Chain A
Amino acid sequence: MSVPLLEVEGLTVTFPTARGPVDVVRGISFSLGRERLGIVGESGSGKSMTGRSILRLIRPPGHVSAGRLVFDGIDLLALSERRMRALRGARISMVMQDPKFSLNPVMTVGEQIAEALLTHAKLPRRALKARVLSMLEAVRINDPERVAGLYPHEVSGGMGQRVMIAMMLIPEPDLLIADEPTSALDVSVQAQVLDIIDDLVTGKGMGLILISHDLNLVARYCDRILVMNGGEIVEECRASELHLARHPYTRGLLAAMPRMDEDRDVLPVLDRGAWTTGAGT
């Protein structure tokens, strides 16, 4: 934590609408070392936009501004699009939500993973193939040789997501942003995929930003948690101390979740008037 990997200060993302510009992220600040940070919030809280703006993936007319957006000493806002492209994938990469829509349907799994590596490094074909197969093995795919030759529609959702993780981790980035990496997956597969991410991230000493709407899941896999609501960070706490959360929104979210040993007759519902988040979005 001595030199942060990523520093964000006053990050704001704005979209123009018919009723004037709307800030979907309102001047948030945080820093990240080589640790696992969770960002939690409901739909529309700005959590995905935060992740995307770090990679400068917000398309016009969306606009990103920040006091500071520094990754490992590099000012991301000042980089040219060309230098930014060199950075994406190689040093910061992102796992998307749904493997069905994020993988190229007309390329085999092996080709796609190799492409991710070739974009940033020149390698002889044999070494390339070996790297791809060992990466597939690292994400616990049993028969890498066979799977590398399959097309995305021939693999299951869980396997597709592991392929995507392999693709994102093969250039050995320093920071991985995972945006709802398991929400398209079954509960039983979710844990496997997160365990793989966790192993690889801690094994290589990378930084991880895990974006999710699931408080318990984030608490299980992260060191620190940011809770977002209405484009602002309403609470920051250590994952182990989540149950001590003080903000009414966080407490409301925790209480609204049914428990395994549920005996309440009615679930408490969020009273959105209990806190203020500026103008509604």
Chain B
Amino acid sequence: MSATAIHLENLSISYGKTPVVHDVAFSVAEGESFALVGESGSGKSTILRAISGLAPEWTGAIAILGKPRGHAPDRDFAKVCQMVFQDPYGSLHPRKTVDDCLAEPLAIHGIGGRDARVRDMLAAVGLDQRFRFRFPHQLSGGQRQRVAIARALMLSPRVLLLDEPTSALDVSVQAEILNLLKKLRREQGLTYLMVTHNLPVVSFLCDRLAVMRHGRVVEIADVSALKTGRLADPYSRELYAASGGALQPA
């Protein structure tokens, strides 16, 4: 558990000429669940996009499980680190069945035994086998997000990047997906880096959190500080109060 799963150093990211993230550095231990919180535009999703290779204009260092990541697309990298996106309505191909969608990563990486793997993965994310040959529009939002999580897990990655995985879902469905994420992490020893603006979700799923504002990390705290309302930075406290928490002296 002591190995470092994600290590960021002096990470600055820009879109074209606009700098978005400035000098971010933190490490996530293997098996840990780490949250990035902050308001929209604070650069939290951009960090995930840079790690996964979707925002290639970065400087600094990104290392996953001790291996530095380059700027180019990297097939081996995809095997250890996968991402789940916010909107299950937008992240699944509308004209591919669940089966196509789950088998595709295996085909790309030339892994055999696809039939059995797809079947096992559906079971792991709690989807009945009858959903296997359906299209995304025939599924509910919660079922789609289960498919998106299943797709991310097909290559048995060690690290999962979660970009607001439940914010497009109803409360009762959110509870199901959060339970699923917690179960998968326990069973497969996954490392999570999750972006969210929902502090109670952090409290349920994460061990530590980083609060971001204007592209910088203003505070890294243990989740116990969140649970007891003892965040130190004034902005974190503001965010905490806006989420309906009762503040305690830091």
Contacts and interface: CB of A to CB of B under 8 A. Distances in A.
B179 A267 contact: yes
B175 A213 contact: no
A256 interface: yes
Interface of A is mostly: loop
Contact of A268 (B175, B203, B242, B244): B175
Nearest to A257: B171
Contacts of B74: none
- For chain A, which range describes its interface: under 10, 10 to 19, 20 to 34, or 35 or more residues? 20 to 34
Contacts of A261: 203, 227-228
Contacts of A123: none
A271 B172 CA distance: 10
Given A188-B39, A269-B179, A256 B174 contact: yes
B178 interface: yes
Contacts of B178: 258, 267
B200 interface: yes
Contacts of B175: 256-258, 267-270
Interface residues of B, number: 31
Interface in A185-226: 186-191, 213-216, 220
B176 interface: yes
A267 B242 contact: no
A173 B170 CA distance: 31
B118 interface: no
Contacts of B242: 187-188, 190-191
Given A256-B171, A269-B172, A187 B200 contact: no
Q: Nearest 3 pairs between A and B by C-beta?
A: A256-B175, A258-B200, A267-B175
Given A191-B242, A258-B178, A262-B204, 16 more contacts: A43-B170, A187-B239, A189-B39, A213-B170, A213-B171, A215-B171, A258-B201, A259-B203, A260-B200, A260-B226, A261-B203, A262-B200, A266-B182, A267-B204, A269-B179, A270-B172
